[in-house]
Amino acid sequence: MGLMFIFGMGFSSKAIASRLSGWRIEATGRGGTVAFDDDSAVRRALARATHVLSSVPPGEEGDPVLDRYGDALRHDWLGYLSSTGVYGDTGGAWVDESSPVGSGRRSARAEADLAWLAKGARVFRLPGIYGPGRSPLDRVREGRGHRIDMPGQVFSRVHVDDIASGVVAALDAGPGAYNLADDLPASAAAVTEEACRLLGIAPPPLQTLDEAGLSPMARGFYAENRRVANGKAKRVLGWSPQFPTYREGLAAILATERSLEPGPLAAP
């Protein structure tokens, strides 16, 4: 146990922090305790910290954490939440941590990924993240669920709780890259169909990318096609996803939501 300083207390970081029972947590970000641009406060917190984790993505000019505070990151345990987007498009082929990086559309992310590795960090490469309040169930309810007709197009994904358990498992592991992904890459259309089935809603029609009217960012999501292998994390960290496929993950989210719904009022 120690003091974990987190750059960027967001969706995934909050799940990680919730697993650190008995730890002291300090963080930047909306849910944090220190302002990122308060150099004195951040450096004092870093001096107290035993472990440092960053979930801050790179910007156009590089990684803001490394650029501003890299000289203060001399900790034995450093962690960085990266993206499997560093592998680029593989035409649906499998990638693991030995696969080349930097050929995809996320060149800044790949550069940051490699820079954190060079500092001796545990770099967690994450695919599409989902969890309570941020899942295909929410998109379907809000009318934002799509079924894009792209045969052979698959993606990997990971439940936020499995990210948290993977990072905790790596607290005693050596530096290096770790893919934290589920066991079943699948098309986005299949996941939308499962969300609709669980909710008892008819699935949306199949559409082309042009018919769906997606944003440039969303269209970019479909520009790459790969399957992410998680064998190293299982072997080295002793980690295994609690939600090995999107089916278990979505079912668990829905069950939790329904357990929190108020029951019927008792008759007077």
Q: How many domains does the chain fold into?
A: 1
Average pLDDT over residues 134-151: 93
Task: Evaluate whether residue 6 is within a structural domain.
Answer: no
Rounded distance, CA 241 to CA 226, Å? 19
- Identify whether 28 is part of a domain: no
pTM above 0.85, yes or no: yes
User: Residue 164 domain-assigned?
Assistant: yes
Q: Does residue 93 lie within any of the structural domains?
A: yes
> Taking 70 as the threshold, does the pLDDT of residue 267 lie above it?
no
| pLDDT of 266 strictly over 50 | no
Q: Is residue 65 part of a domain?
A: no
Q: Is the pLDDT of residue 196 over 70?
A: yes
Domain span at 241: 76-258
**Does 265 or 107 have the greater pLDDT score?**
107
Q: Where residue 159 sits, what CATH number does that domain have?
A: 3.40.50.720
Residue 222 pLDDT: 86
Q: How far apart (Å, rounded) are the C-alpha atoms in residues 109 and 60?
A: 10
Between 155 and 105, where is the model more confident?
Answer: 155
Is pLDDT of 31 > 50?
yes
Distances (CA, A) of 169 to 59, 119, 164, 185: 29, 20, 9, 23
- Could you tell me if residue 240 is inside a domain? yes
Higher-pLDDT residue of 67, 30: 67
Is residue 175 included in any domain, yes or no? yes
What pLDDT was estimated at residue 104?
67
